């Protein structure tokens, strides 16, 4: 099982971005397995209502709901975004969440891009 550290108030979380990794679950399920959310705004018009700031096996990550634009029950099943510093870290965190904690995840390698460049 991965080592989990709750990073409430840790500035390292500001170096994370979304790299196509998600976890589908509820706020309560994440909280029961990984600890309470660092942010629990409730809906106030913001893009995020619940956010977990963690370190999983040495990887700083954020797990947050994105653009629900509504009151979210802590038992609503949502697709949470996973933010890390790199795409590779997002891949690793999604794998840890699936393998160690039984969450349904999508890893960056699962996402097929429909965008392509044409070079002339």
Domain contains 116: no
Domain contains 118: no
CA–CA distance from 94 to each of 17, 19, 109 (Å)? Answer: 14, 11, 10
Identify the three-state secondary structure at position 71: coil
Domain contains 12: yes
Buried/exposed code over 47-60 (b: 16+ C-beta within 10 A; e: otherwise): eebbbbbbbbeebb
CA–CA distance from 48 to each of 6, 103, 105 (Å)? Answer: 18, 20, 19
Tens place of pLDDT for every residue, the chain, 120 residues?
Answer: 888 888 877 788 888 999 999 999 999 999 999 988 887 766 666 788 899 999 999 999 999 999 888 888 899 999 999 999 999 999 999 999 999 999 999 998 887 765 555 676
Domain contains 14: yes
pTM of the model: 0.85
CA–CA distance from 82 to each of 36, 55, 97, 120 (Å)? Answer: 16, 12, 10, 36
Domain contains 120: no
pLDDT value at residue 36: 84
State the residue range of the domain holding 84.
4-110
When divided into structural domains, the chain yields a total of 1
Helix and strand element counts for the chain (H, E)? 2, 7
Q: Are 49 and 65 in contact (CB under 8 A)?
A: yes
């Amino acid at each position: 099982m991965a080592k989990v550290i709750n990073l409430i108030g840790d500035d390292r979380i500001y170096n994370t971005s979304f790299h196509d990794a998600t976890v589908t679950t509820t706020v309560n399920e994440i909280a029961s397995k990984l600890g309470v959310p660092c942010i629990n705004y409730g809906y106030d018009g913001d893009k995020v209502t619940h956010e977990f700031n963690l370190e999983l096996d040495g990887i700083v990550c954020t797990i947050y709901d994105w653009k629900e634009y509504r009151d979210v029950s802590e038992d609503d099943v949502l697709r949470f975004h996973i933010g890390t510093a790199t795409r590779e870290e997002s891949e690793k965190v999604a794998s840890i969440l699936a393998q160690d904690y039984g969450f349904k995840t999508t890893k960056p390698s699962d996402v097929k891009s429909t965008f392509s460049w044409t070079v002339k």
